[in-house]
Amino acid sequence: MTLALLVAGACLSGCADIYNAQGMERAIAKHKTVAIIPFEISIDAKKLPKGATIEMIRDQERDLGYIMQSQMHTRFLRRVGQYSIEFQDVDKTNALLMRDSITYENIRGKTKDELAKMLGVDAIVGGTIRMAQPMSLGAAVALQVLVGVSGATNKIDVAVTVHEGSDAKLLWKYAHQYSGSAGSTPESLAKAMMKHIAKKFPYRR
C-alpha cells in the first residue's frame, strides 16, 4: 500500500527529553555493530475516514514502521563517520528476523537481548511513534492517496531507544513531540528527528 501521511514540516514542541543510563559510556565503548528494528507505530483510530477500516489503519502502522526503520538507517549512514559503530543493513536485519519468523506484529513479544542474539549485534536501536487524529474525520491519515486538507494539525510523540544486546538494559532514550499539518511524508519526520538525535546519539565520536 502506498503510504503518504504524517506531519508536514514537522516542527518542535518544547525540548526533547534525553535519558542516559548510569554506566552507558562504558557499555557502548564495547559495541561494534547495532541494528535498527522496525518502529512501533500507533495511530489513533477512534474516528476513521469514510470508507476506512481498522485493518487499513493497521496496514499503515506496519508500513510506516518499516519506512521509519529505513529512513533512520539512511540518515545515520549519511553521518556514519560521526559514530564509533557500524549500522547493520536493514535488509539484512529484516531478512534475519523473517528467518526466525519475527514479523511486525509479533516482534514486541521478543526481548531486546533475544533480538540482538538473532541479529548478531551488540545493541538494538528501536523507536515508537504515536499519532493523534485531531480532525473529525481523521483526514490526517491517508489510505491510498492523501487528501489535501490545509490546516489539519497532528501531534506525534516520538521515542528512540538504544538497548544493550547482552541483557536488554535501556542505555539511552530520546523522547520528543512534533506537530505539523497533514500532507507530509515519513522522510520529513525522520529529517526533523535526526537534526536533534544526531547530536545526542550516544555513539557520537
- Range in 77-86, 105-114, 188-197 the model is least confident about: 188-197
Query: How far is 65 from 70, CA to CA, in rounded Å?
Result: 9
Average pLDDT over every residue of 147-174: 80
The pLDDT value given to residue 105:
94
Judge whether 138 and 47 are in contact, CB under 8 Å: yes
Average pLDDT over every residue of 110-123: 98
- Range in 15-19, 72-76, 107-111 the model is least confident about: 15-19
| The residue type at 82 | Q
pLDDT of 3 strictly over 70: no
CATH code of the domain occupying 7-200: 3.40.50.10610
The pLDDT value given to residue 7:
37
The model's pTM is 0.83
Using CA atoms, how far residue 123 sits from 10, 40, 159, 162, 187, in Å, is: 28, 17, 16, 7, 24
